[in-house]
Structure 1
């Protein structure tokens, strides 16, 4: 009998990668949680220059560290959300998974900012706390509308800080993350109504990726991007769709040293030409997912995934540290270190007290709904249930005319 050829027997295959993205990331042992933690820390480090008043943030080819971190988040989300949608049996199952993942922790974070951090900030800065402003901020945060509006100020509770108005800047990205969830759901679930032989999930996502990338190209050729943060929505959508596209092809795309090196060179080349936001999304998403497939850091964040908590609490913590005049005593990286140490317990508490229980509740509710549906589908129960109206009518007639 002929012995199957393995990657070890064929060095060329080993260099190109013997594993596919689907196998590497679907095994349960990957470093995506560790990467998300790195990206969350990168966002905090990057924001330190602005919130601490140290001057312009360092950047490479015009891309700031925080921007790269957010793009990394979107690349991973694009992949994982698409896989989640494909594995979900119903829209309800998919929507429940997405809401339970981000919304409960967001509610608590918004409440904490509005009614704890802002009053404390007003005390530290000798500003004023405005309850109506707090309610406006809370409503905007919970409606996921900060991505299309300026973050509502809460009185003058940040008076004296370098940023005097914005209590939680990163929340603007959740607006567009949520929109991407809806787009992927629409594509995956609507295409299920089409015969399998004619489905084109990958094609539909590719067209969205191409459209967003083309729009970025047009923006760059027209004169680059302005200071308005919402102008970076298109690159973020392109990165998300790049991760999503890779998800649809995850059992064909291989991971290995050679393709990862080529992806890194492609990202560098795109940035060096000045068209990084248009040309880099696909190789960048591949590079992020390829690094995430490495198992050596799989233990990091496998039990406590605190990256989301760090992301949504990092900015408020930095604002409070700035109100306490920490930046006047330490350099920018020292301020970032203070913030990372201070935000870690909040990220941990958010995960163990909010995010984990929310996921348990979601799973319990989904199991109960599944059992109820299975029970209803029982033929005997269906027969009895269908006869209930007739039985009730007979009983009513007997009561009226015994």
Structure 2
């Protein structure tokens, strides 16, 4: 059973998410260097169904569904859960948004600095730190690149991610999260809806079908067998859908099973990888602007492989700094309980004592 593997306390989620984030950077090298992703390898292999980047986004969402449901299940309270989720998303996001507006923007804009800082759009980009509505352009920035004006195209998924965190919290607070049959029915309905044309909300439904797959895998962890034969069957089905169509429809089941099979595999022990830090979020949010900067230095377009090879070490460096100096430190605050009146009294007493 999957739960037996979980109780072994070794998993490879860190390395899976690290690889997924890196593949997003690889795919973006095509969009940024060429202005399109038509010739990206997985786009060609899947006959236009998906890029490696979007496939990796699906892996992110299925693992998030699993891990976030587990996080709520093990949290001491809904408030603690929400605090942890806020601290995971927003501190690093606020920093990259501020760096983009006040460092990257002034250096990369075609305007003079006075013009740039007089534009309302410059400060409107700060809305990105709130996730919605998500702006993508800054005045004059990257306007000569083939991927015109887009400052950080990776951020679009974060609003969905945080929305689904709130859904888990809402379902948990009401007790619906633990009605497993109801959650399974919700998953089936979202998978069906994600494969029919909808007048609005198509991305939300498609991504939630993947996220809810992870939720269901966690809720049914005691019943889902961990078996190499099922993993092989899932791989075959996924390969057939990549070749003949229906990959997105099949992913919530076969893609999810493969993801968790790999995450809890014990033949190769990579569980120590995460001890160096969780760099996947930093890779994801820093990749796009760094790649745009490099493309600008090459006249706005270039070979995507060169873009990736030049950008990736810089992206890793930024992810390392982001984790050790922002993300990890921010997460430490989730364990602190603040009594503001007591804190004010303590600080006042300390001030009086110092006098």
Q: State the TM-score bracket (shorter-chain normalisation).
A: 0.7 to 0.9
Shift of 1:332: 1.6
Alignment match of 1:255 (pick from 226, 244, 247)? 226
Structure 2 match to 1:217: 195
Q: Is the 8 A contact 1:267 1:276 kept in 2?
A: yes
Identify the residue that residue 148 of structure 2 maps to in structure 1: 164
C-alpha distance 23-97 of structure 1, shift in aligned 2 (>3 A): farther
Q: Mark the CA change 1:187 to 1:162 in structure 2 (over 3 Å): closer, same or farther.
A: same
Whether the 8 Å CA contact 2:287–2:315 is kept in 1: the answer is yes
User: How many angstroms apart in 2 are the aligned matches of 1:272 and 1:132?
Assistant: 47
Contact kept? 1:125, 1:158, Cα under 8 Å: no
Shift of the alpha carbon at 1:119?
A: 1.3
How many Å separate the matches in 2 of 1:347 and 1:97?
20
Residue number among 23, 26, 43 corresponding to 2:24 in the alignment: 43
Question: What residue is the counterpart of 1:360 in the other structure?
Answer: 332
Q: In the alignment, is residue 284 of structure 1 matched against residue 255 of structure 2?
A: yes
CA contact (8 A) 2:141 2:151 kept: no
Q: Does 2:295 correspond to 1:322?
A: yes
Separation (CA, whole Å) in 1 of partners of 2:112 and 2:191: 43
Gaps spanning 5+ residues in structure 1: where? Answer: 1-19, 193-198, 373-402
**Matched residue of 1:111: which SS?**
helix
Partner in structure 1 of residue 126 of structure 2: 138
Match of 1:70 in 2: 57
Report what 1:274 is aligned to.
245
**What is the match of residue 349 of structure 1?**
321
Provide closer, same or farther for how the CA distance between residues 260 and 167 of structure 1 changes in structure 2, counting only shifts above 3 A. Answer: same
- 1:336 matched to 2:308? The reply is yes
TM-score (norm 1): 0.76
Residues 243 and 282 in structure 1, CA contact (< 8 A), matched pair in contact too = no
Q: Distance in 2 between matches of 1:118 and 1:25?
A: 45
Q: Secondary structure at the match of 2:218?
A: helix
Aligned partners of 2:28 and 2:53 also within 8 Å: yes
The number of residues matched between the two structures is: 331
| Structure of greater Rg | 1
Q: How far did 1:273 drift?
A: 4.1
Structure 1 CA distance for aligned equivalents of residues 140 and 312 of structure 2: 25
Alpha-carbon RMSD across the aligned residues, in angstroms, is 2.7
> 1:208, CA displacement in angstroms?
2.4
The TM-score normalised by the length of structure 2 is: 0.85
Alignment of 1:1-400 (within 5 A): 20-53=1-34, 55=36, 56-58=38-40, 59=43, 60-61=45-46, 62-122=49-109, 129-130=116-117, 131-139=119-127, 141-146=128-133, 151-191=135-175, 200-219=178-197, 231-295=202-266, 296-325=269-298, 331-365=303-337
Deviation at 1:200, TM superposition (A): 4.8
- Give the match for residue 351 of structure 2: none
Q: Deviations over 1:102-127 (max 9, x none)?
A: 1111111111111111112126999x
